[in-house]
A and B are shown apart, each in its own frame.
Chain A
Amino acid sequence: MANTWGYGAMTNHFGDVVENSKAIFMIGANSAVANPIGMKHFLQAKDRNNAKLIVIDPVYTKSAAKADHYLRIRTGTDVAFIYGLLHIIFKNGWEDEKFIESRVYGMEDIKAEAKKWTPEVTADVTGIPAEQIIQVATILAKTKPTTVVWALGITQHSTGTSNTRILPILQLVLGNMGKKGGGCNIIRGHDNVQGSTDMCCLADSLPGYYGLSDGSWKHFAQGWGVDYEWLKKRFYAKKWMNEKGFSLAKWWQGVLQEEKTYSSSPIRALWVQGTGITSMSQQVEIQKALNKLDLLVIAEPFVNEAAVLSDREDNIYILPVATQFENEGSVTATNRTSQWRTKVVDPLYESKTDHDVMFEFAKKFGFYDEFTRGMKMGIKDGEIKQVKNDFNFAEDASDEIARIVKTIGLGGWTAKRLKAHQENWHMFDPLTLKGRGAMKGEYYGLPWPSWDDKHPGSPILYDVDTPVNEGGMGFRNRFGLEHDGVSQLAEDSVTVKGSSIKGGYPEITSANIEKVLGIKLTDDEKQKIGKNWKTDYSGIIQEKCRIAGVAPYGNAKARVKVWTFPDPVPIHREPIHSPRTDLVKKHPTYGDQTNNFRVDVRFSSEQNAQDWAKDFPTMLVTMRVVNLSGAGMLERTSKYLSHITPEMFANIHPDLALNYGIRDGEDMWLHSPQGTKIKVKAHYNFSVTPDRISLPYNFAGVMQGVDLSHKYPEGTKPYATGESSNTITNYGFDIITQIPEFNAGLCRIEKA
């Protein structure tokens, strides 16, 4: 997404779908289970606009049960399927030529690839009948606007990056971007996932997607009021400042070092705060790594089952952290809006809030002052400096974010404005998000980019028919001014409404601002202005852009070709463990990868190690159940939620189960290519075909048939425990993001 048009986030919003979408194309998402509130909006769109709901999923999900068209896809063939649709669209001239010519770069290469994917070829690879592919392509071409909806079923693959690129490409071809009722609506499944993504709780970037370049570190050093040299000294060597760290997906190799790692030291201590690492793949490896660490600290409101998974008896600490009800601050919703949340009660017992735990940590390590100084900073006379000696946590932290994070336009997200929105909920329209009365002119939650404290927020990204100061913009100029001699800026015909510049323009820097905006800076402004719009603390660039009705990040073309990626245009690659050995030769995975997130990753060597489909003939699909989320530890402490799914199970078609003599409700072993196994109940179900089984990923507490009940600290065992599906999810990681392959794997069934 970000590599296509600038930002990797939901482009429109749920209310917009209800009001304007005529068709909803849901692929790799099961909102009825993972986001019921989101599902309400899709059902409302069906009720109110007669919108057609098209669901593409390997399993007949609860969302599929509400669909007008359901397409059963083979896991890991999303790219092939979309090319199948594009083939028909291009063949019939159904693409939005004007949109593509004026706002998209590189489409010829997509057309060339799509040529190969006739309905018959696509049907063979994806398992979707050719007639259905033609039918859906026709609906997409004739029904405007269509919104595309996806979630983890698209991202969690060894080809996740290609998947998340091909869907935006589909929307660009159809001209559904920057339009009401169109867009790419990627649905977040948990509270504040968008917020933690925006804050880049990741191994490869500073907050706000700034990356790890020296320029970014210097920007943050300035914003935090600390010396860049001091920051540098915190690292073992300067080079590690700019290197990605270990990822959540493969951190355990940093401990075990079975595959080659690239780090100054093995990982010796692990601090887990607010993430269920038992919902990650390769549980046996994780268990081994947890045992080998020198120190394990778990800071959570509930006992994280990582503690139970580990066999260690010493140097393991569980810190009680407060819940959101005992804390205050802003959270970011799936549609880039921020909401202020008020504390209900003070932290109970000896628990502390997340930030207090971090503050205590910083005090012990002697950098508390530096750690908190950013909250005492402010802009005075166009310069950033310390403006007070004290701070008030939630408010000043929010203001610090607003001050520093310019990349995604959080300038408008001051605590004061967010609180005003919270206090005036009743003044906003739930569908358009538009404010009324005192809130007139603002959108609820100030969807980012909200460039500065006067900006109303941008409910629909890349909408050139709306002035920038009212939430409009073109695509972001993020990939240079030209490639292969072709300008990357939008054509002259694409003028953002109300803009003083006709057609495309580059991102604004101190070097080009006078020329691009046709203005003259005063000497004082020249002295204070930052290098570019992303680092300009003075606010001068933003102020001049506001006057000109210009988005500081430019008005460029989206690109469908990412020349720095292994696949410049997405191509279909078979899952690493593919059930179609015959297709592996034709559509092989990538070559093995050296040093991504400090560790090597096997691709082709794993894919070709043996004829996997022969020994592991059944496809393995993981899924969520509605009553449990993530690793499920929180929900399994509720007796009522546990009562719905008291035991771990796998959905299996009776025809498949009976091949192995397994009756409904009997136990079965599931074996993985990695040599791991789990014992689960067979649940006869017709949502799966006999070539695949589906199982929830929300259980833990049993490991390869061994009950770990005795390892829970007294009184903390949840009502329901069970095998984790991630003990047998297959080896495999995305080539760019390293997200694990949760969704396209193989297994072997055995009667228990």
Chain B
Amino acid sequence: MSSEMSRMKFYCDDDRCIECYGCSVACSEAHELPVGISRRKVITLNDGIEGKEISTSIACMHCTDAPCEQVCPVDCFYIREDGIVLHDKEVCIGCGYCLYACPFGAPQFPRDGAFGTKGAMDKCTMCAGGPLETNSVHERELYGQNRIAEGKVPLCAAVCATNALLVGDAEEVSKVYRKRVVSRGKGA
């Protein structure tokens, strides 16, 4: 256990990720997302090219210095003490600035309507809900499950078949990964 204040982070070990989509499907299923809203995406580069193919899983990286928070014109973002970046959907105006600022393509917008009209932004909450009353029906409807409040691991990492997707206190995640790198004798 770390003596520091914990800071929650995701990390995807691309030597382990096999593009199984387990994380992405579990996320959509758990939070009952509309099809097309991918809080978590699985990306493969150089698909099928010998020796070059690589897969990874990406969602909101819960940045320390979150650019989304900095560009938001209505200030709907807030960063919890444990580092999880959340936002208030009832304040969000769906302008899309955060999407331009985010280096990971994390913010998602509803795609229905004739011209793909934007509603409130949706993104990975690290399964920590939103600003509403914890585990209330209202919170669940707007933000999905709040597993963190229940002491549970975010679902994407919980279902990861190969333990590629790691989540938790940054130091702990780093320890797990460092151990792998050391015994592999290569990487990082």
> Do A and B come from the same complex?
yes
Q: Which residues A348-367 have CB closer than 8 A to chain B?
A: none
Q: How long is the Cα–Cα vector from A651 to B51 in the complex, in angstroms?
A: 18
How close is A682's CB to chain B, nearest CB, in angstroms?
14
User: At the interface, yes or no: A747 with Cβ under 8 Å from chain B?
Assistant: no
How close is A210's CB to chain B, nearest CB, in angstroms?
36
| A687 touching B47, Cβ below 8 Å | yes
Q: How long is the Cα–Cα vector from A252 to B15 in the complex, in angstroms?
A: 46
User: At the interface, yes or no: B150 with Cβ under 8 Å from chain A?
Assistant: no
Given contacts A62-B18, A640-B25, contact A40 B48 (CB under 8 A): no
User: At the interface, yes or no: B136 with Cβ under 8 Å from chain A?
Assistant: no
How close is A629's CB to chain B, nearest CB, in angstroms?
12
| B48 touching A687, Cβ below 8 Å | yes
| B19 touching A626, Cβ below 8 Å | yes
Q: Tell me which residues across on chain B come within 8 A of A269, comparing CB atoms.
A: none
| B15 touching A66, Cβ below 8 Å | yes
User: At the interface, yes or no: B180 with Cβ under 8 Å from chain A?
Assistant: yes
User: At the interface, yes or no: A33 with Cβ under 8 Å from chain B?
Assistant: yes
| A47 touching B35, Cβ below 8 Å | no
Chain B proximity mask over A622-639: 1 for CB below 8 Å, otherwise 0: 000011000000000011
Given contacts A36-B161, A50-B184, contact A686 B16 (CB under 8 A): no
User: At the interface, yes or no: A48 with Cβ under 8 Å from chain B?
Assistant: yes
User: At the interface, yes or no: A479 with Cβ under 8 Å from chain B?
Assistant: no
Given contacts A32-B18, A50-B184, A639-B35, contact A43 B162 (CB under 8 A): yes
Q: Tell me which residues across on chain B come within 8 A of A203, comparing CB atoms.
A: none
User: At the interface, yes or no: B110 with Cβ under 8 Å from chain A?
Assistant: no
User: At the interface, yes or no: A644 with Cβ under 8 Å from chain B?
Assistant: yes
How close is A250's CB to chain B, nearest CB, in angstroms?
34
| B162 touching A36, Cβ below 8 Å | yes
| A39 touching B161, Cβ below 8 Å | yes
How close is A320's CB to chain B, nearest CB, in angstroms?
23
Chain B proximity mask over A56-81: 1 for CB below 8 Å, otherwise 0: 00001011111000100000000000
By DSSP majority rule, is chain A's interface helix, strand, loop, or mixed?
Answer: helix
| B21 touching A685, Cβ below 8 Å | no
Chain B proximity mask over A601-632: 1 for CB below 8 Å, otherwise 0: 00000000000000000000000001100000
| B47 touching A686, Cβ below 8 Å | yes
Q: How long is the Cα–Cα vector from A33 to B24 in the complex, in angstroms?
A: 15
Chain A: interface residue count, which band?
20 to 34
| B162 touching A39, Cβ below 8 Å | yes
Please give me the residue from chain A that is nearest to B18 by CB atom.
A32
Q: How long is the Cα–Cα vector from A651 to B47 in the complex, in angstroms?
A: 11
Q: How long is the Cα–Cα vector from A47 to B184 in the complex, in angstroms?
A: 5
User: At the interface, yes or no: B183 with Cβ under 8 Å from chain A?
Assistant: yes
| B162 touching A640, Cβ below 8 Å | no
Q: Tell me which residues across on chain A come within 8 A of B22, comparing CB atoms.
A: 36
Chain B proximity mask over A670-698: 1 for CB below 8 Å, otherwise 0: 00000000000000011110000000000
User: At the interface, yes or no: B125 with Cβ under 8 Å from chain A?
Assistant: no
Which of B18, B28, B55, B163 gathers the greatest number of chain A CB atoms within 10 Å? B18
Which of A33, A47, A60 gathers the greatest number of chain B CB atoms within 10 Å? A47
Q: Tell me which residues across on chain B come within 8 A of A688, comparing CB atoms.
A: 48
Q: How long is the Cα–Cα vector from A530 to B55 in the complex, in angstroms?
A: 58
Of A33, A63, A66, A685, which one neighbours B47 at CB under 8 angstroms? A685
| B55 touching A65, Cβ below 8 Å | yes
Please give me the residue from chain B that is nearest to A635 by CB atom.
B25
Please give me the residue from chain A that is nearest to B49 by CB atom.
A686
Q: Which residues B146-188 have CB closer than 8 A to chain A?
A: 161-163, 180, 183-185
| A40 touching B28, Cβ below 8 Å | no
Given contacts A33-B20, A685-B47, contact A40 B161 (CB under 8 A): yes
Interface residue total, chain B, C-beta cutoff 8 A: 28
| A47 touching B29, Cβ below 8 Å | no
Please give me the residue from chain B that is nearest to A41 by CB atom.
B162
| A32 touching B48, Cβ below 8 Å | no
User: At the interface, yes or no: B133 with Cβ under 8 Å from chain A?
Assistant: no
Q: How long is the Cα–Cα vector from A528 to B94 in the complex, in angstroms?
A: 82
Given contacts A36-B18, A65-B53, contact A50 B48 (CB under 8 A): no
How close is B30's CB to chain A, nearest CB, in angstroms?
10
| A70 touching B50, Cβ below 8 Å | yes
Given contacts A32-B20, A36-B162, A626-B21, contact A643 B49 (CB under 8 A): no
| A641 touching B25, Cβ below 8 Å | yes
Given contacts A36-B161, A47-B184, A60-B53, contact A640 B48 (CB under 8 A): no
Q: How long is the Cα–Cα vector from A155 to B19 in the complex, in angstroms?
A: 26
Q: Tell me which residues across on chain B come within 8 A of A687, comparing CB atoms.
A: 47-48
Q: Tell me which residues across on chain B come within 8 A of A478, comparing CB atoms.
A: none
User: At the interface, yes or no: A188 with Cβ under 8 Å from chain B?
Assistant: no
| A43 touching B15, Cβ below 8 Å | yes
Q: Tell me which residues across on chain B come within 8 A of A638, comparing CB atoms.
A: 25, 29
Q: Tell me which residues across on chain A come within 8 A of B24, comparing CB atoms.
A: 640
| A48 touching B183, Cβ below 8 Å | yes
Please give me the residue from chain A that is nearest to B161 by CB atom.
A36
Q: Which residues B31-67 have CB closer than 8 A to chain A?
A: 35-36, 47-51, 53-55
Of B19, B25, B51, B180, which one neighbours A62 at CB under 8 angstroms? B19
User: At the interface, yes or no: A717 with Cβ under 8 Å from chain B?
Assistant: no
User: At the interface, yes or no: A46 with Cβ under 8 Å from chain B?
Assistant: yes
Q: How long is the Cα–Cα vector from A50 to B180 in the complex, in angstroms?
A: 11
Q: Tell me which residues across on chain B come within 8 A of A643, comparing CB atoms.
A: 35-36
Q: Tell me which residues across on chain B come within 8 A of A644, comparing CB atoms.
A: 21, 25
Which of B28, B48, B162 gathers the greatest number of chain A CB atoms within 10 Å? B48
| B18 touching A627, Cβ below 8 Å | no
Please give me the residue from chain A that is nearest to B46 by CB atom.
A686
Q: Tell me which residues across on chain B come within 8 A of A33, comparing CB atoms.
A: 18, 20
User: At the interface, yes or no: A37 with Cβ under 8 Å from chain B?
Assistant: yes
Q: How long is the Cα–Cα vector from A63 to B20 in the complex, in angstroms?
A: 11
Q: Tell me which residues across on chain B come within 8 A of A64, comparing CB atoms.
A: 50
Chain B proximity mask over A21-46: 1 for CB below 8 Å, otherwise 0: 00000000000110011011001001
Give 4 closest A-B pairs by Cβ, nearest first.
A687-B48, A36-B161, A686-B48, A32-B18
Give 14 A-B contacts (CB < 8 Å), ordered by A residue: A32-B20, A36-B18, A37-B161, A40-B163, A60-B50, A60-B53, A62-B19, A64-B50, A70-B50, A626-B19, A626-B21, A638-B29, A639-B35, A687-B47
- B residues with a Cβ closer than 8 A to A are 15-16, 18-22, 24-25, 28-29, 35-36, 47-51, 53-55, 161-163, 180, 183-185
- A residues with a Cβ closer than 8 A to B are 32-33, 36-37, 39-40, 43, 46-48, 50, 60, 62-66, 70, 626-627, 638-641, 643-644, 651, 685-688
